[in-house]
Amino acid sequence: MTIRNALRDHGQRYRPRMACLKKAEKVLLEMQDPCTGVKSQPQRLVITIIPHAITGEDIIAWLADRFQIDTEEARSFGSMLVALGYIYPLQDHKRLVIKPDASLYRFQTPYFWPTQQWPVEDTDYAIYLAKRNIRKKGILELHEQEQYNHLHKWMNHKWDFIVMQAKEQYRAAKERKKPDRVVFDCQERAYWVVHRPPPGTVSAMDYGLHRRTDPNADETQTPDYYERIMIFTQQSIMRPRVKSSVSIGALVKYCATYSGHDPFLSKCLPSNPWLTDDTTFWTLNMHNVEIPTKMRVERWTFSFKELLSDPRGRDDFRLFLKKEFSGENLAFWEGCEDLKWGTAVTMREKAEQIYKTFLARGAPRWINIDGKTMEITVKGLKHPHRYVLDAAQTHIYMLMKKDSYGRYLKSPVFKETLKKAICPEEHKFNEVQLEQNARNRRPSLSPIIIRQQEQEQRAKMAANAPVDITQLCRFTTPVPHLAVYSGIPDPPSVTASPLFPFLAHTPVCPSPISVALDSTSASERQLETSEGEGNMEARAPDGGNLSKSRMALSLRRLLKRGCSPSAMFASLSPKCHTAAATSSRIQPIMPDEPSHGPPRRIGNFFQIKVDIPPECRIYPIESEDEDEENRPASRDRVGTEEIICPWESLSRQNGTG
């Protein structure tokens, strides 16, 4: 048995939601057949007798018999017919349900049937309300009064017509005999209960967006129709295939995991607000609740996506990351989300902010992504768009998922949360309490207010942004007067010299080697820097690019020693990308920037990532020293001091200078 893809659905999702109407009509015509339909009886009123009334229990019995279904299902089917407006109750006319007792119903006349091609007009409703006004001397229900005032305002230009028509219809109806008049009034009233339901009731007529084409109509076979079929089948062929065992297995797994959490399928603690009108469930599961429920916490263990998409879970995770000093990952991820989903106006600014905070060299909350991604991101940031940080975001997401998430689930933070999580008692409401709940329904907070609250909270969090321990180094404070990223077009110097890109060899991200070597004591570093400086002064008379010259110097030294850089690197680090090919492609945002060099952080030792950025390499191009020396002298004291050449320290350690 195959799953048929109905030919109409050329990816356009017709959603024939009102196809049931035609079927209901057929059933209704069967039902009212005098021979084989539902037994009808006369309704006895004080003044007259009106025929063709049917009882609820008869309807249910007939439906159960006709379709060979059990009583419960027949009852819900009958209620559907009432809710759609094909049968209307004579007593309690506002509740559109079938009661399985002797309460009376009647068939609705076809003029008032809810079929698709006759839209329900507001003009008609206005006329109806005016008629009701005339009859009941102005006593209308509250929602009717509101509607009346609303329509009076919006249809003011045809209001004279409406009133005149109402009067005329009223008088025309009086011409009929009394029983028929009663029937017609009931019919009309029932029609408007279905199509303009009082507030707080669920209407069966809700069907989402209004489609322009009738899903039940046959489509004409125009060339366009065939074209759409062709496009659809082409796309179907191109789609990648998955074995059904795999896809079905995934579905089964999903169902098994989530079935306990689905309020449709299993009990919802304390009670389902849609059923009992009690909103405890929602208040217990709000975004910023202190103590989450057990079900919620269990959900976080299903997947990383669940954890992140639940605001409370994200808070918990953030707390954990703070303790692990890797909060910048989550903050970066959230910043990227903000960029993706934010308004276009703020995009540029946000991208700039994110770069300054997370990606730039020397950024306060620097994230560690691999060089290729960094390269793509930085290049894209010149012309920022909504998805410019996608690659970096994915990398960080995967990082958190593979690494931090697992640790989080085993962490004391999570265990604590799990222990404190509450499991609410189930509500047991009786009928009276249910009615009371229904009466006390109140609308929730306006979404505008909720959005304002969220924004305030975000601002507060940004103001008290946690200072990651990784940035507790004076070297990593961002330097304001250096334009880290200004988003201005490429400075001409970049294009001027093709060798300039090489300047980026001061790595955009700290080389792990240098990081590793940071574990050497600060005193040694100081020693190095002072020595380096001393050397510098000796060798670089123009006092220009000290850091560069130092590196180049050590380069020369290394080369003199005949030690191949790659070999050295290989000995130092697990993975080593070979070099120079990628180097030339690296373009700094501001070429005179790199004097910042790789920021030194003590804490980073614990965060050595696997990939070595391709920039952290020795570029054995001696000719470039001249370039460096010619570089503009926007030097920075801080920058000079912190450049520590891994090779330099190594060479020192190795003894020979």
Edge-to-edge strand ranges of the sheet holding 41-44:
41-44, 49-55, 104-107, 87-89
Give the per-residue contact string, 341-380, with another protein (x = CB under 8 A; - = no): ----------------------------------------
User: Interface with another protein includes 148 (CB under 8 A)?
Assistant: yes
Q: Name the residue nearer to another protein (CB basis): 3 or 47.
A: 47
Name the token pair of 124: 């008609």
Query: SS in 3 state form for 137-161?
Result: CCCCCHHHHHHHHHHHHHCHHHHHH
Q: Which stretch binds another protein (CB under 8 A): 55-63, 103-111, 488-496, 588-596?
A: 103-111
Q: CB-side exposure of 342: number of CA atoms within 13 Å?
A: 18
CB of 165 to another protein, least distance (A): 6
**Spatial separation of the C-alpha atoms in residues 611 and 619, rounded to whole Å:** 18
User: Interface with another protein includes 103 (CB under 8 A)?
Assistant: yes
User: Interface with another protein includes 656 (CB under 8 A)?
Assistant: no
Q: Which stretch binds another protein (CB under 8 A): 178-186, 246-254, 581-589, 598-606?
A: 178-186
User: Interface with another protein includes 195 (CB under 8 A)?
Assistant: no
Strand-pairing partners, residue 434, are none
Q: Any idea which residue has 């129709």 for tokens?
A: 225
- Helices (DSSP H) in 342-389: which residue ranges? 347-354, 371-380
CB of 236 to another protein, least distance (A): 38
With contact defined as beta carbons under 8 Å apart, do 618 and 555 qualify?
Answer: yes
What is the chain's length? Answer: 657
Q: Contact with another protein (CB under 8 A): which of 16, 61, 69, 169?
A: 169
User: Interface with another protein includes 158 (CB under 8 A)?
Assistant: yes
Q: Name the residue nearer to another protein (CB basis): 135 or 585.
A: 135
Crossing angle for the helix pair 311-324 and 327-341, nearest 10 degrees? Answer: 140
Q: Contact with another protein (CB under 8 A): which of 76, 165, 584, 607?
A: 165
CB of 170 to another protein, least distance (A): 7
Q: Name the residue nearer to another protein (CB basis): 184 or 325.
A: 184
Site for another protein in 104-133 (CB under 8 A): 104, 106-112, 115, 117-118, 121, 123-124, 130, 133
Site for another protein in 482-501 (CB under 8 A): none
**Spatial separation of the C-alpha atoms in residues 93 and 72, rounded to whole Å:** 22
CB of 152 to another protein, least distance (A): 4
Q: Contact with another protein (CB under 8 A): which of 138, 260, 406, 632?
A: 138
User: Interface with another protein includes 408 (CB under 8 A)?
Assistant: no
Q: Contact with another protein (CB under 8 A): which of 14, 21, 97, 189?
A: 189
User: Interface with another protein includes 161 (CB under 8 A)?
Assistant: yes
User: Interface with another protein includes 57 (CB under 8 A)?
Assistant: no
Q: Which stretch binds another protein (CB under 8 A): 25-33, 359-367, 389-397, 574-582?
A: 25-33
User: Interface with another protein includes 29 (CB under 8 A)?
Assistant: yes
Q: Name the residue nearer to another protein (CB basis): 151 or 389.
A: 151
**Spatial separation of the C-alpha atoms in residues 308 and 316, rounded to whole Å:** 10
**Spatial separation of the C-alpha atoms in residues 80 and 86, rounded to whole Å:** 9
Q: Long-range contacts for 393-401 (Cβ within 8 Å, ≥24 apart)? A: 393/332, 393/333, 393/336, 393/337, 395/369, 395/370, 396/329, 396/332, 396/333, 396/336, 396/367, 396/369, 397/304, 397/333, 399/329, 400/304, 400/329, 400/330, 400/333, 401/304
Q: Name the residue nearer to another protein (CB basis): 112 or 281.
A: 112
Distance (Å) of CA 191 to CA 112, 128, 341, 650:
6, 11, 44, 89
Q: Name the residue nearer to another protein (CB basis): 109 or 457.
A: 109
Q: Name the residue nearer to another protein (CB basis): 171 or 323.
A: 171
Site for another protein in 33-52 (CB under 8 A): 33-35, 40, 43-47, 50-52
User: Interface with another protein includes 604 (CB under 8 A)?
Assistant: no
User: Interface with another protein includes 149 (CB under 8 A)?
Assistant: yes
Q: Contact with another protein (CB under 8 A): which of 57, 122, 185, 403?
A: 185
Q: Name the residue nearer to another protein (CB basis): 55 or 393.
A: 55
Q: Name the residue nearer to another protein (CB basis): 167 or 379.
A: 167
What radius of gyration, in Å, describes the C-alpha atoms of the chain? 37
Surface-to-core class of residue 351, CB atoms within 10 Å of its CB (0-12 exposed, 13-18 middle, 19+ buried): buried
Angle CA(540)–CA(491)–CA(541) in degrees, nearest 5? 10
User: Interface with another protein includes 231 (CB under 8 A)?
Assistant: no
Q: In degrees rounded to 5, what are phi and psi of residue 173?
A: -65, -30
Distance (Å) of CA 557 to CA 164, 550, 553, 620:
103, 10, 6, 11
Q: Contact with another protein (CB under 8 A): which of 21, 27, 69, 90?
A: 90
**Spatial separation of the C-alpha atoms in residues 88 and 98, rounded to whole Å:** 9
User: Interface with another protein includes 156 (CB under 8 A)?
Assistant: yes
**Spatial separation of the C-alpha atoms in residues 551 and 425, rounded to whole Å:** 68
Site for another protein in 542-601 (CB under 8 A): none
Size of the site for another protein (CB under 8 A): 81
Q: Contact with another protein (CB under 8 A): which of 4, 13, 23, 157?
A: 157
Q: Any idea which residue has 């020397």 for tokens?
A: 362
Q: Contact with another protein (CB under 8 A): which of 21, 163, 284, 580?
A: 163
Q: Contact with another protein (CB under 8 A): which of 15, 93, 458, 539?
A: 93
Q: Name the residue nearer to another protein (CB basis): 102 or 255.
A: 102
Name the token pair of 57: 């229990």
Q: Contact with another protein (CB under 8 A): which of 2, 68, 91, 623?
A: 91
Angle CA(427)–CA(428)–CA(432) in degrees, nearest 5? 120
